[in-house]
Chains A and B, each alone.
Chain A
Amino acid sequence: MERPPARRSGGHGRRLRLPHRSGGARLPAPEAIANAAGANALYLAAVQTFIWALNGDGSGGTEGQILISGMLADEFRHSGTFSTRVDYDMRASDLNNGTLAGAFRNLHDGRVEAHRAINAITALPDFNAATDDRISELNNAIGIIFLTSAQNYCNGIPFSNYDGAT
């Protein structure tokens, strides 16, 4: 049996969103965050993305790496779809399985968002590496993600960066 329908729609159920408008220029565009406040917003989101990657959403809708490692070790049993249970039993992360592929994507998302925030912060004119501890915090998150990847996945997994350029 596949996963029952999400209780919420529109793709916004995965993360708690602030009320926002998503038309025309009502969403933040790159120029809106090319400043100190924007860089800090990227930093905050990167931290939250890292938390997501490790802890999941906390409600069982999206697994994080801590829960996944427990299931791979048969410490926990997945209560969702049959195909996901089978994939866990096989220790196989099928890219067509949204649950497992999603958790894997979220792990990489934590790394990519941390790099994005580091780039934004270090590009600020008044950036001071000696006093800005956000960089070390984000690099620490990246390090934990690499370690988690090594623990929970086989060797040879890719680590990609894609900025949308075609």
Chain B
Amino acid sequence: MGTPKRTFGRLGLAVLVAALLATPAWAQTGTITGRVTGTGVGGGPLEAARLIVVGTNITTTTNRDGAFTLRAVPAGQHQVRVTRLGFTSKSSPVTVASGQTATIDFVLDPAPFTLEEITTTASGEQRKLESGNTVHTIQVNTLVETAPVKDLSQILLGRAPGVQVLPSTGTTGGSQRIRIRGSNSVSLSNEPLFVIDGVRMESGESSISVGTGGQSPSRLNDINPEDIADIQILKGPSASVIYGTGGSNGVVLITTKRGVAGRTQWNFWGEAGVLHDKNDYPDNYYGAAADGSRCRLDDQARGLCTVASITSFNPLRDPTESPIHSGFRQQYGGAVSGGTEQVRYYVTGEWEGERGVLFMPDAEQTRVLSETGRSALRAEELNPNTLGKWSLRANTDFNVSSKARAGVRVGFVTSDLWLPQNDNNVTGLHSSGINGDGRGPDAPGGAWGFFTPGDVFGRLTRQKVRRLTTSADAQFTPTTWLTARTTLGWDQTERQDQQFQRFGEGPNFSTYRLGYADENRRTIDVYTVDASATATFAVTDAIQSKTTGGLQYSENSFRGTDAHGEQLPPGSVTVSSGAIKDAAETNTFSKTAGAFVEQQFAFNDRFFVNGAVRVDRNSSAGFESRTIIYPKASVSYLVPGFEAGTISSLRLRGSFGQAGQQPGGTTALEIFDPLVTAVGAGITDAGVVINNLGDPTLKPERSTEFEAGFDATLFDNRVSVELTGYHKETRDALIFVPTPVSAGNPNGQFRNIGKTRNQGLEAVISAQVLNTESLNWDFTFTGSLLRNRLLDLGGQPPINANGTTQQHREGLPLGGYWARPYTYSDANGDGIIGRDELVMGDSLEYIAPSQATREAAITMSFGLFQNRVSVSTTLDYRGGFRLYNLQEDFRCRSSQNCAALYDKNAPLADQARIEALRFQGSNNTNTGFIEKGDYAKWRELSVTFNAPQSLANALGAARASLSFAGRNLALFTSYSGPDPEVNGQGEANFAQRDFLSLPPIRTMILRLNLSY
């Protein structure tokens, strides 16, 4: 292997020479036209079906009437193949005469699964059949019209096996973690790479620079689901090697909608819905002796007092006190698409507004107005959690000639989000509601633990975002066997984070009531340049060769400034008005250039062998070696003899691949930080202090994945089964090794010392149970098993992932739970577990994984009365893990308001876990609060009425539908907290605990779709 520069040069020269040599073959060509229609309920003319002249790179798609034209087809005999998602593929022979037009029509039957489905990656288009990997596709364009999904994470949740979407909150604008095939990086991000229309995009999970306690927005959710046509998921290095460094956590490929040639089509939609917080928040308790003093069961067991009365109160559910009310969301948009064969367009715009479930109670409004002497409250105080968002998109595709096409895609989003304080936060709402006094408003300090809602809502957080994601792509097919592609893209996010508390308002904590303001600006740019070429040859009649070579360049730039002012004058919220001001700046940059070559041989269009190599070079400074090579190989075999009979088709597949992940651009360098030094009264000078120890031997961590499985269709393609097993190992895993506290700063250093492994099984079963004119019934099951292990920590002692409660230890899952075991028995039979009725273990022991090891989802869809009414519902399950219920731990330990602290009727296990938590001295342990987290959720239900043509016409529309949909409809779990899906740590890499968060909430929406 030469240097990347030389390799790129040779590849480019080869492509150019090949194109020039092939020019004479253009002379004798003809045209193929025809129409594609479908049978069954979804039948009629099929738009956006893809046609290819087999053995060449000549392709096209059908227009809105199902018509197509394939131009510049060499004269002679050809096979034309048509594919469309949801239908069987077909091939037909056709003879093309020079200068003539041949006609061929196709009629496709519905099918839930097809191996002819097209995957588009950085190396071009590929049929599912040709790939040795499983690639999961989610058709989004029809989904958003009916399903209750408001962001990208809700599209992904439960729809792809092995893809874990971990929502952490019901906060409007809140975020989630997304993990594909588990977490395998100890110290770096485990988030997949997101690519939209071929352009790498910013998808930060925790994208805010001011504190809200735990929950923060994700840039992923800037993307409007209405804009998305489909999502394809490459699950690991065996599939994502072409993406090189950055592809080790999997790649999510998002394709936005395109215009379809034909008549102009207008679509309008309007949606309105309510948000209900149906979470079962625990009551706050107070146990009292006869004289009213606090008396706990433990005190009673020791003969210190007797619990004479227990009172309880729940400020989050009390009709007078509670700030939790119904929220509201609405969404209105329109899209126009159409064009000619030469120019096609898709333009859309949408406004989305959501008011979360928090609202300042009437009594608090009166109090705040009275205390501050104001006549009216500000809107953001009344509703501290709101979102307003505009999304605009214009996609245009051009057929420049019969051999060249191009596209320009522009997406723009602007949003304004207000976030409440919550989670691990003394000024948070739930922290005060859940840690309140059981005596309610009559308690000496009132019903709220720390601050009342009126004060909590006086500490305000706002994030404004303007984001432009734009790309241009072009494809040139100079000959029938060569296609060249290029994509240029730029994704820019401008973010403004604000937080302020006015003088004399809000929670009286620390110096906050003196007033403070944060004004932080961020500009995040991601640039992408891709160029590749694919050459297709017939080596023999039976063997086809496809060679793809390409170059990729990506650049990430993060620029930020922070400004902080405090001790503000009354009424001011500007940084500049602060008596004390502070500023900081953060800038990071990284660039990666890569080249790849991929070779495929197809034998009788039945056996496919793929090999690829990707070479990466990155800009990270200080690395001794900055070039890294990632290989890949895969096979796919369509087993003959199954065309008829119970098994309609059977494909076996297997693949191997590597990808990597690198730390930040200066991680390998020894660098210093400026430090302002006071050298006299009011006089400062600039010093420097060590910032990073560096390590020139660092290199990207490298993940190697093996994957094998099969795809089978049964019963005349009405049932499909996909089963995949994988084994993924990450070597040279970068571990942030803590330095000894007694050595001063910095507090750690990255080293390539770790090794992790993820193994798992994934299954998808889809079936068309019934497909009649009066009733059709589709069924889909997705499921996965995951086993994660930290194999090697390089001789380092265990690393804490969330205090000592979660640890990275060799031989066990990353971030697993650890605690001291104990046993208990009511030895004296008094119905109370006393502190001497526990036997404590000697040391911490491993309890369970903190991440789900089992996932499943079942989706059933029904079409009734010739699909006049369609119903779809999804139930999902997550299990094999535990969740630390720190919320109840904290209530029992510090707030002393949990039921089992006072109530003799509380289960002995609940009493024992408190005794173990509080009254065992240095052996105190939170073991009993690390609870089984398994749950099932009735996630989605949608009922759609497709209006009869006459009714749609009466509305002046060609098509009309009305959908009623609900999300988070029911929860089934033995977990004792409100919802085991929550994470008070927000989007932390491993830390997982339930702590004072607003859990996911129920959403009910009504949506009208009109097409003209």
Q: Which residues of B contact A32 (CB under 8 A)?
A: 672
- Of residues 729 to 771 in B, which have CB atoms within 8 Å of A's CB atoms? 739-745, 747, 749, 751
Q: A142 CA to B511 CA in the complex, in Å? A: 34
B877 within 8 Å of A by Cβ? no
Chain A nearest Cβ from B763, distance in angstroms: 41
Given A10-B586, A160-B742, A4 and B676 touching (CB < 8 A)?
A: no
- Asked whether any CB of chain B lies closer than 8 Å to the CB of A130, the reply is no
A1 to B213, CA, bound (A): 12
Q: Which residue of B lies closest to A38 (CB)?
A: B688
User: With the chains together, A159 CA to B686 CA distance in Å?
Assistant: 28
- Chain A residues near B621 (CB-CB < 8 A): 24-25
A131 at interface, CB cutoff 8 A: no
When the two chains form the complex, which single residue of A9, A29, A43, A104 contacts B671, counting CB atoms closer than 8 Å? A29
**Which residues of A in the span 1-34 have a Cβ within 8 Å of any Cβ on B?**
1-10, 12, 15-30, 32-33
The reply to whether B695 and A164 form a contact with Cβ atoms under 8 Å apart is yes
Taking a contact as CB atoms closer than 8 A, the residue among A5, A21, A113, A159 that contacts B213 in the complex is A5
Complex Cα spacing A23 to B588, Å:
5
Smallest CB gap from A25: residue in B: B621
Interface membership of B798, Cβ < 8 A:
no
* B690 A108 Cβ-Cβ under 8 A: no
- A144 on the B face (CB < 8 A): no
B419-451 CB contact bits vs A (8 Å, 1 = yes)?
000001111000100010000000000000010
* A28 with B671, Cβ < 8 A, contacts A2-B424, A7-B518 known: yes
**Are B741 and A164 neighbours in the complex by a CB distance under 8 Å?**
no
Instruction: Tell me the bound Cα distance from A48 to B675 in angstroms.
Output: 8
B583 touches A (CB below 8 Å)? yes
B666 is contacted by which of A1, A23, A42, A109 (Cβ under 8 Å)? A23
Interface size on B, residues (CB 8 A): 73
Residues in A neighbouring B2, C-beta threshold 8 A: none
Q: How far is the CA of A106 from the CA of B499 in the complex (A)?
A: 29
Give, as a whole number of angstroms, the nearest-CB distance from A104 to chain B: 6
B230 on the A face (CB < 8 A): no
A44 to B693, CA, bound (A): 20
Known: A82-B894, A104-B741. A113 touches B689 (CB 8 A): yes
A30/B740 in contact, CB under 8 A: no
For A109, the chain B residues whose CB sits under 8 A away are: 744-745
Which residues does chain B contribute within 8 Å of A38, judged by CB atoms? 688
Which B673-700 residues have a C-beta within 8 angstroms of A? Answer: 673-679, 685-691, 693-695, 697
Bound CA span A105–B743, Å:
7
- Min distance, Cβ A38 to any Cβ of chain B, angstroms: 7
Docked-complex contact A5 and B584, CB < 8 angstroms: no
- Decide if B582 is an interface residue (CB 8 Å cutoff): yes
Determine how close the nearest CB of chain B comes to the CB of A32; give it in whole angstroms. 8
Question: Total number of A-B contacts with CB less than 8 angstroms?
Answer: 198
A4:B584 contact, CB within 8 angstroms = no
- If A44-B686, A159-B742 touch, whether A29 touches B669 (CB-CB below 8 Å) is yes
State A160–B589 Cα separation when bound (angstroms): 34
Q: How far is the CA of A4 from the CA of B673 in the complex (A)?
A: 26
Which residues 649-683 of B have a CB within 8 angstroms of A?
Answer: 665-666, 669-679
- Residues on B with C-beta less than 8 A from A166 are 695, 697, 749, 751
Specify which chain A residues have a CB less than 8 angstroms from the CB of B511 in the assembled complex: 59
Q: Which of A117-166 contact B (CB under 8 A)?
A: 157-164, 166
- Which of B583, B587, B675, B751 has the most chain A CB atoms inside 10 A of its CB? B675
CA distance A27 to B691 in the complex (A): 9
Contacts of B687 in A (CB 8 A): 41-48
Q: Is A9 a contact of B747 with CB atoms below 8 Å?
A: no
Q: Contacts of A65 on B, CB cut-off 8 Å?
A: none
**A98 vs B606: C-alpha distance when bound (angstroms):** 60
CB nearest neighbor in B for A61: B510
On chain A, the residues within 8 Å of B425 by CB distance are 4-5
Are B211 and A5 neighbours in the complex by a CB distance under 8 Å?
Answer: yes
Inter-chain contacts of A59 with B (CB < 8 A):
511
Q: Which 8 A-B pairs have the closest CB atoms?
A: A5-B211, A164-B693, A45-B687, A44-B687, A109-B744, A112-B744, A160-B743, A48-B677
26 contacts between A and B (CB under 8 A): A1-B890, A3-B426, A7-B210, A8-B518, A9-B208, A9-B209, A10-B209, A16-B582, A16-B676, A17-B674, A18-B674, A18-B686, A19-B584, A42-B687, A43-B687, A44-B675, A44-B687, A45-B688, A60-B510, A96-B800, A96-B804, A108-B744, A112-B743, A113-B689, A116-B690, A164-B694
Q: Can you add 11 more A-B contacts, CB < 8 Å, to A9-B208, A9-B209? A: A9-B211, A19-B583, A33-B688, A43-B687, A44-B686, A45-B687, A48-B689, A95-B741, A110-B744, A112-B745, A164-B695
